[in-house]
Amino acid sequence: MADMMPIFPLGIVVFPGELINLHIFEPRYKQLLEEVRAFDIHFAVAPYFEGKDLLYATEVRLEKTVKIYHDRTSDIVLKGLNIVKILDFFPKHPNKLYPAAEIEALTFRDNFDVLINLDILKNLHRLYTSMNIQNIKLKEPDDFRSSDIAHKVGFTIDQELEFMLFDNEFDRSQFMLEHLDQFIPQVIMMEELRKRAQLNGHFQNLKPPF
């Protein structure tokens, strides 16, 4: 039997294990958050993008309320839990302001592969070094999961949506590794082009080959 769950459509993809910072200001979602706090219920963030159906969502829990303002708006932290399938969407939950859906929880197998994780981490170090990015901390291969970094590998929205639907970690990490193998050479080429463009009009100190 399907469960009814409150739905929060947003223009983002939330991955299991991810922490999301949000400012809640719309009346319907202020109502939702008040009920979440009162009854300790979960809800689901559905990735909403123009022209795409609401077919899947990420169940989330309220991890922390950072601040509640005088007008009942609030700053909150959500944690992604698992992916759910939307069976039937209702723009309004019965007798509520916010949307809801009949959902089916999907299972996920954490069959990670340390060797694939090593390859991903090696590629990530290469990517971030080429882009001079220094503030991203990466976990050790045994603890690393591909969803930890899925927003920071250059996925398009379509790729993020495809990535979230894999039902096991091995396939997710393979998908990410294949993406990085194609994406990193493009980034390196663009970085080289950017550096050359910055040298336009400058005197260059080039060493002759012989």
Mean pLDDT of 87-115: 95
Pick from 196, 195, 150, 153: nearest CA to 172: 150
Q: What pLDDT was estimated at residue 152?
A: 92
Indicate the pTM of the whole model: 0.84
Q: What pLDDT was estimated at residue 130?
A: 83
The total number of residues written for the chain in this structure: 210
Q: Which band of pLDDT confidence, cut at 50, 70 and 90, is reported for residue 200?
A: low
Q: Is the pLDDT of residue 190 over 90?
A: no
Ordered structural domains, the chain, with CATH: 3-105 (2.30.130.40), 114-198 (no CATH)
Q: Which band of pLDDT confidence, cut at 50, 70 and 90, is reported for residue 2?
A: confident
Q: Which amino acid is at 77?
A: V
pLDDT in tens, 38-84: 999 999 999 999 888 889 999 999 999 999 999 999 999 999 999 99
User: Given the structure tokens 């005088």, which residue do they identify?
Assistant: 70
Q: How far apart are CA 35 and CA 95, in angstroms?
A: 13
Under a CB-based contact definition with an 8 Å cutoff, are residues 184 and 123 in contact?
A: yes
Q: Is the pLDDT of residue 206 over 90?
A: no
Phi, psi for residue 83 in degrees, rounded to 5: -90, 140
Q: How far apart are CA 10 and CA 46, in angstroms?
A: 6
Beta bridge partners of 105: 84
Q: Which band of pLDDT confidence, cut at 50, 70 and 90, is reported for residue 199?
A: low
pLDDT in tens, 108-122: 999 999 999 999 999
Q: What pLDDT was estimated at residue 210?
A: 45
Q: How far apart are CA 79 and CA 15, in angstroms?
A: 9
Q: What pLDDT was estimated at residue 50?
A: 87
Q: Could you tell me which residues come within 8 angstroms of residue 15 by beta carbon, excluding any fewer than 6 positions away?
A: 58, 80, 147, 150, 151, 163, 164
Under a CB-based contact definition with an 8 Å cutoff, are residues 173 and 118 in contact?
A: no
Q: How far apart are CA 166 and CA 178, in angstroms?
A: 15
Q: Which band of pLDDT confidence, cut at 50, 70 and 90, is reported for residue 198?
A: low
Under a CB-based contact definition with an 8 Å cutoff, are residues 127 and 101 in contact?
A: no
Average pLDDT, the chain: 90
Neighbours of 84 (CB within 10 A): 23
User: Is beta strand 43-47 parallel, antiparallel or unpaired with respect to 74-90?
Assistant: unpaired
Mean pLDDT of 177-187: 93
